[in-house]
Chain A
Amino acid sequence: MATALLGTALLSGCSNRQEASTTLPAPSASAPTTAEALPPLGPPDLPMPAAARKQTPEGAEAFLRYYMEVYNHAQRTLDPTWMRDLSSGCGTCDRIADDMDADSAAGFTYQGGEVRVDAISLPAVSGDEAQIALVITQAPLAVMNEGMPIDGLTFPERSSPGSGAILVWDRAQSTWRVSQWDVQ
């Protein structure tokens, strides 16, 4: 059952960098130069903040914090569209998104499972890449079917202190994307 992977995929999964996806809109002829002029990204009810669209260490940190909110949004809605759109070849992201799609198709829902960032280091930005270390905790998660938790698909709270991510800068869209998300 795909659902079982949600808790374990996030809490014990790992990913590796792969080729860039093409899920974002095609780049415009000239990239916008200011955050104010940028087309919005992310869920309409959770737009990406301007601070996350800067190619700086602070921008990378803001983006990763935002991506965790996008993940929580996807859990609430069981719509991982934005998780995919804001990642690029991220195996962990894709696996979680695939599981959500399967669970949504099965009529399941999630209860809990929100991820919070407990600590984060100032990212190291080198060119178009940022490396970040972080500590995250996922709240207890239960996968529900017709309002009842499914046996074997309830997960206790779990902290992942040795986690990390690699982001890549998308010049055309002036945004970071998650290319690797390692959860210990």
Chain B
Amino acid sequence: MSSTVNPTIADSLKEYGRGIAGGLLFSLPLLYTQEMWDTGIIFTPERLALALGFITTLLLGYNRFSGLHKDASWIEVLIDSVEELGLGLLLAALLLWMIGAIHGDLSVLDIVGRTIVEGLMIAVGVSIGTAQLGIEEDASSDLQARDEALPGMLEQLTLGICGAFIVAMNVAPTEEIALIAAQVSPWHLLAIAIVALLLTAMVLFFSDFMRSQPYHQARSALLFVRTITMVYAEALCVAFALLWFFQRFAGQQAYAIISQTLVLSLPAALGAAAGRLLIR
């Protein structure tokens, strides 16, 4: 799983343990969510394949930029991503079977659908768990150097999308997003957008969040505006993509689509901002 030189079996087992713990930590609420099970049944094979492709890309991007593996070759990144995807699918199948969400009465496509929908989130969790939950005793100076440097644009984007996905995914499949969007006025939606922007600014610039020193030290108005705008744009894109993926826009007017996207943009923005710092 890691690119450590000559890892022992014990080291590997520890890494897999961290990965499994991370996978469950991030995805367990969704494993117990009826809407997620239904999604696996309703989706066509094409949509499931699209989800598989998106998560594989996300894993490749995250593994490329996370932790201390920035010197890793693309083949290492690819191998790690395949391992995590396989672990995610395997864990999802086992856990769904354990809680009775997949059983012999379902068709093969429905079993595969449920496993994919749940497994993809677990795979991202495995990746983050492996990269973030371990102790890097020998690399403290490297870690410090990394934390003091402002991440590159592509790295920020990748980590932001990953963070937004992890947080927004927990609520995107629920009916409540459409319910809230239908109930609130345009002023409420404006308030949601403003709070999302304020939260982003607070996390990255004003609250001494872990690993936020590069943003504090830059003290540039341009960086501030650019970062906040980029984070919120990412949040809107991730929110829109997730809602589209869960078919929340079917038969909806433009206003309803915008409202739902704005409602989901709040958790997505928080995830995109915190993701830049916490899952590096």
Partners in one complex: no
Interface, chain A (partner B; CB < 8 A): none
Interface, chain B (partner A; CB < 8 A): none
